[in-house]
Amino acid sequence: MLMRRWQLAHGRHLDFGDKAEVMGILNVTPNSFSDGGKFDNFDAAIAQARLMAQEGASIIDVGGESTNPKAEPVSAKEEQARALPVIEALAALGETLISIDTYREETARLAVAAGAHIVNDVWGLQREPGIARVAAETGAGLIIMHTGREREKLPDVIEDQFFFLEKSLAIAREAGIADGQIMLDPGFGFAKETTKENLDLMARVHELHALGFPLAIGTSRKRFVGHVVGREAASRVAGTAATSVILRLQGAHLFRVHDVAFNVDALAMADAMLARQGDAAGH
């Protein structure tokens, strides 16, 4: 697989190539859909982050507000009170790269100042476009996620990806963000209302390579996985790992998951298969 360098804040970078990278999800919230309340205690959050790093996560993604559409929104101050102390502590440890999962400009700016290297925006710069300035001014890595929430979607799942993400990329370029800072995320489960829609997107993710950016994936424990395997959220580990393999074989680079060790192992098998295919093609 082609080597690509992702430029991050604080002079850091991450190289994507023959090995899939894993981002561990750390929800410091009381109400996230599958692990709410497990890590909203500071000590529990740090312990979980360290465990995920030991299991092979190269990035810890810290979120202070649930993205579950049924969750009550929280204020920026509450989001920051939850996330920033954890980011500061993880930055002091220096064991992993750190991402802030937020759509708010102010939270993103404070998080990068506290030590975060990456801004992960589930609204793709279109909720608070000023968040693009944070990435431009700090050099932070930026994950631009597709969402279908609060708008009319195009009927074709990939056409809608291009429609939304091209608008987001225009905001990024207007702000002066370098292409090397950007990753795209197709946003599995975010207003993809049916299992069929999510599976159609999974089958066609490779078409997004035409946009020219590395791809981040977030299928972990999602409802559509549960519909396929018939399990509740906490028991969707194997189903999630299967999606990771499927999407790695289509060229995705970064996998945002709750269950790090399982996905690291599954992705190692996918990487071994890709390597053998490459060797066979070279002979």
- Residue type present at position 175: A
Q: Please name the residue that has the structure tokens 């202070």.
A: 64
Residues carrying an active site annotation: 222, 256
DSSP 171-201: HHHHHT--GGGEEEE--TTSS--SHHHHHHH
Question: In angstroms, rounded to a whole number, what is the distance separating the alpha carbons of residues 213 and 172?
Answer: 13
Spatial CA neighbour of 190 closest among 151, 155, 162: 151
- Dihedral of the alpha carbons of 73, 111, 163, 184, in degrees to the nearest 10: -120
Instruction: Decide: 257 and 240 in contact? Cβ < 8 Å.
Output: yes
- Residue type present at position 253: H
Question: In angstroms, rounded to a whole number, what is the distance separating the alpha carbons of residues 130 and 75?
Answer: 17
Taking every pair of Cα atoms in the chain, the longest distance, rounded to a whole number of angstroms, is 58
Instruction: Decide: 75 and 113 in contact? Cβ < 8 Å.
Output: no
DSSP 195-216: HHHHHHHHHHGGGGGGG-S-BE
Question: In angstroms, rounded to a whole number, what is the distance separating the alpha carbons of residues 90 and 49?
Answer: 8
97-101 vs 118-121, strand pairing mode: parallel
Question: In angstroms, rounded to a whole number, what is the distance separating the alpha carbons of residues 22 and 48?
Answer: 15
